[in-house]
Amino acid sequence: MVQVSPRGDIARICAVEDDGYRLYLEYPSGQSATVDPPEPLDWAVGTVVAVNAGEHYIDRVPDELWPDRPWVAVVRLRLDDVTVVDASGSLRLLDTNGVDYDNENTVECRESVGVVRVLSEKPIRYLDFPGEESGVERFRVEPDPEGATFDDFGGFRDVVDRARALIERPLKQRDKLTAIGARGIKGVLFTGKPGTGKTMLARIIANEAGATFYTISGPQVFSKWFGESEETLRKIFDDAKAMTPSIIFFDEIDSVASHRAESHEASRRVVGQLLTLMDGFAAANNVVVIAATNRLQDIDVALRRPGRFDWEIEFGLPAFADRQEILRASARGHATTGPLPHDAIALKTDGWSSAELAAVWSEAALLTIADERETIVAEDYVGGYENVERQRPRVTAENAQVGA
């Protein structure tokens, strides 16, 4: 009669307590477990075992039973005796063998022998995967002669004048400022509540200055791959230097560069990289970095030191005269008929943001279409205001609840 051992799952010992009463196991799937034998086991790290938890059974098995599946990694450092590779964001140590490979090669590896072969001389990236838009093109917007102008940005004359002085003029007259010996302006911080026109003004300045515009938000930058976020930023800054004049715009910078003491590791690396990049370009590069936020208190303090975002422009809620200008500027982009009550609407919208004022026209257009007409009339305009007004208490209450 042949005795059959209980069926067990293959695992490998990755650590052993000094007294031998506890073993730490790793499974081929990446999961881990601990075993507390009744008697101390003198088994070395790397021993392959079969484990049957239901039968309280563990026994040594031949090393050949451990699956030696291939996996892909990028070589980060090759030394004479060991090689450091990056596998899915985790740094691993392999013995250096006779295979011809260099740093930054994409390689096939097996744990038993190390690097098996070179798959590509370039490091594989998350952004290189088929179907994904690669490079910095997805962040870059070329100047558009038909794009929005300062005339389309109603109100906030002081804000517009200050932004033109700090950003547009230095971009257009960089040589004159350099000749004078003035310190170049690297970073400008736009602060204010959502919907006050920060992003729109940044785009207009880029258009008016004939500058290449790069727009970046947190979700676009952060990657699950180790080092990918930092490299994306480096590529954007390098591209901006080559495409001057340029504006790099960070929308909601607080989501990218929060306080390092309170953020996770990936965010800390991104903030550190951003600081290095801003310190690394000179006035002659003719690049200005603009960052927008409505949570100034959440930004890492190092970003606001001299030579970085040391200029600040605050966007408040529009006053009565600003609201009049915003409504009239918005009207120019719509087909209208007859006189429109801009002053009356401006009077009723105290405390409204620019985005809310623009929404009046969207609602008015919907009412126009519902009546099967081709132009907006005063009745649609007033109806648009009333529709937005009804929405504001609900939105305000929801925001207050989320903030609480």
Intrachain domains 140-315 and 320-403 with the same fold: no
Per-residue model confidence (pLDDT) at position 400: 44
Q: How would residue 397 be classed by pLDDT, with cut points 50, 70 and 90?
A: very low
Residue 237 pLDDT greater than 70, yes or no: yes
Return the pLDDT at 125: 64
Q: In terms of CATH, what superfamily is 9-65?
A: Nucleic acid-binding proteins (2.40.50.140)
Of all residues in the chain, what percent carry a pLDDT higher than 90?
26
pTM comes to: 0.63
What are the pLDDT digits (tens) for 179-226? 887 777 888 999 988 888 898 999 999 988 888 999 888 666 666 555
Task: Answer whether 256's CB lies under 8 Å from 274's CB.
Answer: yes
Per CATH, the architecture of 320-403 is what?
Orthogonal Bundle (1.10)
Domain ranges across the chain? 9-65, 71-124, 140-315, 320-403
pLDDT of residue 344: 94
CATH of domain 140-315: 3.40.50.300
* CATH number of the structural domain 71-124: 2.40.50
CA angle 101, 104, 105 (to 5 degrees): 45
Q: What is the pLDDT of residues 49-72, one digit of tens each?
A: 888 877 778 888 888 888 878 889
Q: Has residue 30 got a pLDDT over 60?
A: yes
Provide the pLDDT for residue 404: 37
Q: What pLDDT shows up at residue 333?
A: 81
Query: What is the reported pLDDT for 398?
Result: 46
**Does the pLDDT of residue 262 top 60, yes or no?**
no
